[in-house]
Amino acid sequence: MKSLVTGATGFLGSAVMRSLVSAGHAVRVLVRPNSDRRNLEGFAVEVIEGDLRDIASLKRAVSDCDSLFHVAADYRLWVPDPTTMHEINVQGTRALIIAAHEAGIQRMVYTSSVATLGLNADGSPANENTPSDLSTINGYYKRSKFQAEQIVRQLTTDHQLPLVIVNPSTPIGPCDIRPTPTGKIVIDTLSGHMPAYVNTGLNIAHVDDIAQGHLLAYQYGKTGERYILGGDNMSLLQILQSIDNIIGKKRNRLNIPISVMLPLAWTMEKIALITNTEPRATLDSIHMAKKLMFFSSEKAERELGYQHRPAIEALQDAIKWFMEHGYCR
């Protein structure tokens, strides 16, 4: 059994790769020529160089594979020009799924995101059926993932593809080498750079549990269905306080209203355009923070046997890894 994994040099993709190797799969990974490959070190995987924007490389990558785990995505909450993100997340996904279909791949798992799902106004956990549409989604990244998922679902229907969609929530844990936007929150908190917070919330899950959920979706998922792979719903303040408790440093924080953060984020974005550095806050991220981004994994638990450990353990593992690898100053 040979499985192709995209995004294996990244945070979630590397965790999926590790789960597959542990399960006895022969693993091939598609990586960009100049990518950081630290997350591949120590694993006997076959490396194919390519790019989601290069159809020829996609055809080489899927050749002779039995299954596909498409995890790769351009994951940034701020981009000055969304063109590249659209080419990778939307057009690249379409090209890869078509190439896999033409190569006769027998099973596909597509990594979408809870970003494609709707949210409940009352803060109760959303599920796979909570309605959503493009007009209600903030940010280039989230919109690109919504568009990509729509394409994947249509291709699955049109071609009767053996494909399952998973919608991870917010992964936390080791090997976040980039780091991800959520990983940056952990690092900033450890470094004492999170003196304030807004009233929002996230669903926090250990990256290794989400990765195991991918394998369960491969084994037990129903074709054409989607499954939320999540963990514990926590307010941002609870997350920050949990990190404080883990490292034994109690801090007082200021609650900043969303209305105050919007002009600050606008200013940060204008400065970022000049400095070409990612702003600490963006208008899209502040607009997203207006709602509690809480989700339920009940369907995955019921149909796949998915399980997740307490979020505090995910935070502990992330903190340990970031500190051991010199991310905190």
Out of 1-5, 194-198, 200-204, 240-244, pick the least confident: 194-198
Nearest to 27 by CA among 48, 45, 40, 43: 45
27-32's contacts with Cβ under 8 Å and 24+ in sequence apart are 27/2, 27/3, 28/2, 28/3, 28/4, 28/61, 28/65, 29/4, 29/5, 30/4, 30/5, 30/6, 30/57, 30/58, 30/61, 30/72
Structure confidence at residue 319 (pLDDT)? 98
Question: How far is 114 from 286, CA to CA, in rounded Å?
Answer: 17
Structure confidence at residue 276 (pLDDT)? 76
Can you give the pTM of this predicted structure? 0.95
> Alpha carbon of 85 to those of 47, 141, 148, 254, 256: distances in Å?
23, 7, 11, 34, 31
Q: Are the CB atoms for 201 and 231 separated by under 8 Å?
A: no
pLDDT in tens, 228-281: 999 999 999 999 999 999 999 989 999 988 787 777 777 777 777 777 777 777
Other C-beta atoms lying within 10 Å of the C-beta of residue 267? 12
pLDDT in tens, 8-17: 999 999 999 9
Q: Are the CB atoms for 152 and 165 separated by under 8 Å?
A: yes
Structure confidence at residue 257 (pLDDT)? 86
The mean per-residue pLDDT over the stretch 61-82 comes to: 92
pLDDT in tens, 109-131: 999 999 999 999 899 999 999 99
**What is the distance of C-alpha 230 from the center of its chain?**
11
Q: Work out the pLDDT band at 6, boundaries 50, 70, 90.
A: very high
Pair type for strands 232-235 and 201-206: antiparallel
pLDDT in tens, 18-55: 999 999 999 999 999 999 999 999 999 999 999 999 99
Question: How far is 165 from 228, CA to CA, in rounded Å?
Answer: 9
pLDDT at residue 66 greater than cutoff 80: yes
Structure confidence at residue 287 (pLDDT)? 67
Instruction: Give the total residue count for the chain.
Output: 329
Nearest to 196 by CA among 249, 245, 282, 255: 255
Q: Are the CB atoms for 87 and 53 separated by under 8 Å?
A: yes
pLDDT in tens, 128-177: 999 998 888 888 999 999 999 999 999 999 999 999 999 999 999 999 99
Counts of helices then strands in the chain (DSSP H, E): 12, 12
Q: Count Cβ atoms within 10 A of the Cβ of residue 115 and give its class: 0-12 exposed, 13-18 middle, 19 or more buried.
A: buried
Rounded to 5°, angle at Cα 220 from 216 and 226? 80
Cis peptide before 179 (omega within 30 of 0): yes
